[in-house]
């Protein structure tokens, strides 16, 4: 408990310093226009088609040929990160799996290209295609043979189509959007409760915001407009799951004997049992195995419905979704131990939720609540029939189906000039809880509390933007972990942007933060945009 208080005290002190620096420059309260505040309420995916007769369209110079229908925008960037504390990962490539991979000094030197193409189609329809590719020079610099194949596959070279959709109006009250896209049902900037549609890229946790982590999913979306209400129906035939740190990454967790349930009488000790699988090949920890992973295409589609009303000073949404269980725990890619499978079963869950915003002067109040049903867990339990260590396994696999209630409340203040302060807290409670869920492989406690504090301020006529973000996660056992990110963005020119910062993790007792706390790093990026 003392360690918990000390850790929280450090976080609060760091956050207080960041806030003090941000606010000291100007504490004069500024009144905000209500329409400006409400501008962020609307679902980012409710698209609006350009009006060809608008004044904005008439002010632009006429273009010839295809150029008047096609718009190209893109960017090239070079990003790097530097590990402050040299360390080794929990697993390494054969033959020295247990030795792990050395992670020190330069961790990332990534050259990335992004391209977005927008095409104006007949009848005011629009097509968008967004693509990215990157190559990370850090791995050939250090030697690719020093990393597991899974790390090379995920971090060295990647190219992917992000958005690829066509959108338009069928009638004045019906819009359609077809293709790979992002749908954000959430109100929170840093925590997820009702934001369920897009999986996340979690390969480097905490390095960027959620809005930059969402992975687009192919779906068909219809929006019906009735007065102040927007009714949405969605169906997604493409099934995607989170991108998690692979075996051999320095974010892949380190396991210990204490994370096993107490074995039955007469069985080997937890230390002896744990030693039997610590020398496994790294491939044993891969999530890609057998029929337990739902096919990306051809599986039963996901679907959902939403109703959103936007009014003067407030809005309200209701949600219903039938989805595949993405990730129910913060620990992933666990091994198959002695014939007992530890892989997440990708079963379907039902989510019923609601969310809303309310504005009072320069204060924005936000809230979300969700009920999740049919959450499936596989867990270890002591073998009740254990008698002979030479014949019987000390553990057998258990299975259970559970429900969970999540809620989030948040407060955003914009009364200081060029400054935004956001505080959010979320609580998750598993109903009809099974205590064995807290052990390997799930690490799920009955209650989990997440808090996020964010401060942002602009300087030099918005050319310089400084940010601070702190996230703390607590559960029934105490502090699971936390991270703090401090960074800035500076516009060197109209098309040239540089950002840099520092990311630090906290947590000594619970997985996965007990290994992440050594992953503190500096990061920077320079980006050139073009159109």
Instruction: State mean pLDDT over 377-389.
Output: 89
In 3D space, the residue among 432, 426, 424, 492 whose CA is nearest the CA of residue 454 turns out to be: 424
pLDDT of residue 345: 54
What would you measure as the largest C-alpha separation in the chain, in angstroms? 85
Burial of 63 (0-12, 13-18, 19+ CB in 10 A): exposed
pLDDT value at residue 259: 86
How far, in Å, are 354, 362, 367, 407, 451 from residue 193 at the CA level? 10, 25, 10, 7, 13
Lowest mean pLDDT across 47-56, 189-198, 395-404? 47-56
479-488: pLDDT as tens digits: 999 999 999 9
Question: Which pLDDT score, from 0 to 100, does residue 157 have?
Answer: 98
- pTM for this prediction: 0.84
Q: Nearest 10 degrees: CA dihedral of 271, 274, 278, 282?
A: -160
> Both tokens of residue 461?
């006529």
Q: What is the mean pLDDT of residues 373-383?
A: 89
User: How many C-beta atoms lie closer than 10 Å to residue 307's C-beta?
Assistant: 16
Kindly list the structural domains of the chain, giving each domain's residue range(s) and its CATH number in brackets, ordered by start: 2-530 (2.40.160.100)
Q: What is the pLDDT of residues 10-40, one digit of tens each?
A: 443 444 433 343 333 343 333 334 344 334 3
């Amino acid at each position: 408990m003392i360690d918990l208080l000390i850790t929280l005290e450090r976080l609060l002190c760091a956050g207080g310093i960041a806030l003090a620096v941000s606010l000291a420059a100007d504490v004069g309260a500024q009144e905000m226009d209500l329409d400006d505040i409400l501008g962020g309420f609307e679902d980012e995916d409710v698209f609006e088609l350009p009006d060809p007769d608008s004044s904005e369209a008439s002010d632009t110079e006429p273009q010839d040929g295809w150029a008047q229908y096609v718009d190209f925008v893109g960017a090239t960037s070079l990003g790097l990160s530097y590990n402050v504390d040299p360390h080794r990962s929990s697993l390494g490539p054969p033959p020295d799996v247990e030795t792990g991979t050395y992670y020190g000094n330069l961790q990332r030197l990534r050259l990335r290209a992004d391209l977005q193409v927008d095409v104006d189609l007949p009848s005011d329809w629009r097509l968008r295609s967004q693509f990215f590719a990157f190559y990370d020079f850090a791995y050939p610099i250090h030697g690719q043979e020093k990393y597991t194949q899974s790390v090379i596959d995920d971090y060295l070279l990647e190219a992917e189509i992000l958005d690829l959709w066509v959108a338009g109006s069928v009638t004045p009250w019906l819009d359609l959007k077809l293709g790979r896209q992002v749908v954000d049902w959430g109100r929170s900037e840093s925590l997820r409760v009702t934001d369920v549609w897009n999986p996340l890229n979690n390969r480097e946790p905490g390095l960027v915001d959620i809005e930059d982590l969402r992975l687009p999913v192919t779906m068909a979306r219809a929006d019906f407009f009735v007065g102040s209400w927007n009714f949405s129906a969605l169906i997604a035939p493409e099934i995607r799951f989170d991108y998690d740190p692979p075996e051999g990454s320095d974010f892949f967790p380190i396991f210990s004997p204490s994370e096993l349930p107490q074995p039955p009488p007469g069985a080997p000790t937890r230390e002896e049992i744990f030693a039997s699988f610590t020398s496994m090949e790294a491939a044993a920890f891969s999530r890609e195995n057998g029929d337990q992973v739902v096919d990306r295409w051809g599986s039963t589609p996901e679907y959902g419905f939403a109703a959103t009303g936007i009014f003067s000073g407030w809005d309200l949404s209701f949600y219903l979704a039938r989805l595949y269980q993405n990730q129910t725990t913060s620990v992933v890619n666990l091994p198959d131990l002695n014939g007992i499978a530890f892989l997440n079963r990708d079963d379907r869950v039902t989510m019923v939720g609601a969310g809303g915003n309310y504005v009072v002067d320069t204060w924005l109040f936000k809230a979300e609540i969700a009920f999740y049903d049919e959450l499936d867990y596989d867990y270890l339990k002591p073998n009740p029939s254990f008698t002979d260590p030479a014949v019987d396994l000390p553990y057998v696999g258990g299975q259970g189906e559970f429900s969970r209630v999540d809620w989030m409340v948040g407060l955003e203040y914009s009364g200081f000039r060029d400054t935004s302060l956001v505080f959010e807290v979320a609580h998750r409670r598993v109903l009809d809880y099974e205590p064995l869920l807290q052990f390997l492989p799930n690490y799920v406690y009955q209650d989990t509390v997440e808090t996020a504090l964010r401060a942002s301020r602009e300087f030099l006529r918005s050319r310089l933007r400084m940010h601070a973000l702190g996230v703390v996660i607590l559960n029934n056992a105490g502090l699971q972990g936390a991270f703090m990110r401090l960074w800035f963005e500076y516009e060197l020119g109209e098309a040239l942007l540089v950002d840099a910062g520092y990311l630090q993790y906290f947590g000594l007792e619970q997985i996965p933060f007990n290994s992440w706390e050594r992953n503190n790093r500096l990061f920077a990026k320079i980006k050139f945009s073009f159109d």
